Amino acid sequence: MSTMTRHQLPDIRPDAERPTSTPPRLSFSQRLSRFDVKASPYLYIAPFFVLFGLVGLFPLVYTFVVSLNDWDILSGPGDWIGLANYGTELSDPYFWNSLFNTLSIFLLSSIPQIIAAVFIAAILDQNLRAKTFWRMSVLIPYVVTPVAVAIIFSSAFSEKYGLINNILQSFGLDPVMWKTEVLPSHLAIASMVNWRWTGYNALILLAAMQAVPRDIHESAALDGAGSFRRFFSITLPSIRPTMIFVIITATIGGLQIFTEPKLFNPQSANLGGPHREYQTTVLYLWDMAFNRGNFGKASAIAWLLFIIIVAFGLLNFLISRRIASVESAGISTRRARRLAQYRAETDASSAVPTTPDQVPASVEPAAVIAQERRS
């Protein structure tokens, strides 16, 4: 009996005194399967990083190296001059003129473009007949090649026989010098950009609007919120990440504009107008590299433009985050205020004799949120 009891007692010896059992040896197929699970994700994303290194990172680094040399298109690499090309370009009035033209065209194109894209997306989000037809129609300008768009708009904005000036003269107005004055040329080029990219951005915003749950709109409509109130209080806050993406991509594209100003007036003696009225930074870069043959200065211009684009992108991101944090803080403040008001009303009503089926305290946040949605 004692022997039986001794064998039934648990082993209470320390771990160091217990016999250790070696784990079973894995076979080759098991080790290969485990390695496949760990390494396969890196193999799937490796092509992207390889392509990015070849067509993105290497040209970026090599351009910086070229910008530090006196590099000519015919004689090749010259002497190492350090940051002299950057100093020369920062003191060149043509560079600042091109930067001013770029920012002006960017503001005249991006801001109306995003506003119009939001408006078109809101219309396409409604219950329209032939939805597919209208959605494909707004994408047609994006499908047309930029060269064709530039040729058509260049003809329409011709100063002598253009369609726009003919319409203005039919109303008794003087013709506008679209290709020889600064502001008219910027408006004409911005209209090309807006016509081509508004529909594309509208479809991106439409996809974000359709991802907003419909029950939120239905609940707000039952609480008495109108269509405008639902749009500004529900739709726009819900598509904020997509709006940030559209704004950043529009900023990058607007600061890199090249095709439209280059083909706007092919007969001009200088690239970007007779007196560089609409010569953008990329157009100035192209002129410096292939007309003047100075690759060193052109590379310096490219890096200066890269720094400006990164700065604008970070500024857009920080402003968007700041707006989101301010709105979240305002919502939290209003919710706390209404919760305090609800509890005060509950405490006041508790002094009056009530029925046993009172509302529990756990439903207070839900009631406050419901009150906030109704407002």
Tell me the C-alpha distance between 68 and 85, whole Å.
Answer: 7
Q: What is the rounded average pLDDT of the residues 37-58?
A: 85
Tell me the C-alpha distance between 114 and 320, whole Å.
Answer: 15
Number of structural domains found in the chain = 1
Is 216 within a domain? yes
Please list the alpha-helical segments (H only) found in 73-92. 84-90
Q: What is the rounded average pLDDT of the residues 130-135?
A: 85
The residues near 157 (Cβ < 8 Å, ≥ 6 apart) are 164, 165, 178, 179, 188, 264
Which CA distances in Å does 255 have to 2, 53, 108, 297, 321?
A: 91, 23, 12, 19, 22
Is 9 within a domain? no
Mind listing the pLDDT tens digit for each residue in 180-239? 899 999 999 999 999 999 999 999 999 999 988 888 888 888 878 888 888 888 888 888
pLDDT-based confidence at 26, cuts 50/70/90? low
Give the long-range contacts of residues 148-152, CB within 8 A, separation 24 or more: 149/192, 149/195, 149/196, 149/260, 150/192, 150/259, 150/260, 150/262, 150/263, 150/264, 151/263
Output the six-digit token pair for 9: 């007692």
Q: Are 374 and 223 in contact (CB under 8 A)?
A: yes
Q: Are 127 and 212 in contact (CB under 8 A)?
A: no
- Closest of 313, 290, 315 to residue 301, by C-alpha: 290
Tell me: pLDDT of 287 over 70. Answer: yes
Mind listing the pLDDT tens digit for each residue in 301-328? 999 999 999 998 888 878 877 776 666 6
Comparison of pLDDT for 153 and 4, the residue scoring more: 153
Comparison of pLDDT for 215 and 92, the residue scoring more: 92
- pLDDT score recorded for residue 271: 83
Q: Are 168 and 161 in contact (CB under 8 A)?
A: no
Tell me: pLDDT of 163 over 80. Answer: yes
- pLDDT score recorded for residue 108: 93
Is 305 within a domain? no
Q: What is the rounded average pLDDT of the residues 92-121?
A: 93
Per-residue b or e along 236-269, where b marks 16 or more CB atoms closer than 10 Å to that residue's CB: bebbeebbbebbbbbbebbbbbebbbbbbbeebe
- Show the domain range for 157: 96-278
- pLDDT score recorded for residue 74: 79
Is 188 within a domain? yes
In terms of Cβ atoms closer than 10 Å to its own Cβ (0-12, 13-18, 19+), residue 271 is buried
* CATH code assigned at 136: 1.10.3720.10
Q: What is the rounded average pLDDT of the residues 292-304?
A: 92
Q: 0.85 exceeded by the pTM?
A: no
Is 337 within a domain? no
Output the six-digit token pair for 186: 């910027």
What's the chain's length in residues?
A: 375
The number of C-alpha atoms within 13 Å of 38 and in the hemisphere containing its C-beta is 6
Question: If DSSP codes are grouped into helix, strand and coil, which group holds residue 72?
Answer: strand
Mean pLDDT, rounded, of the chain: 81
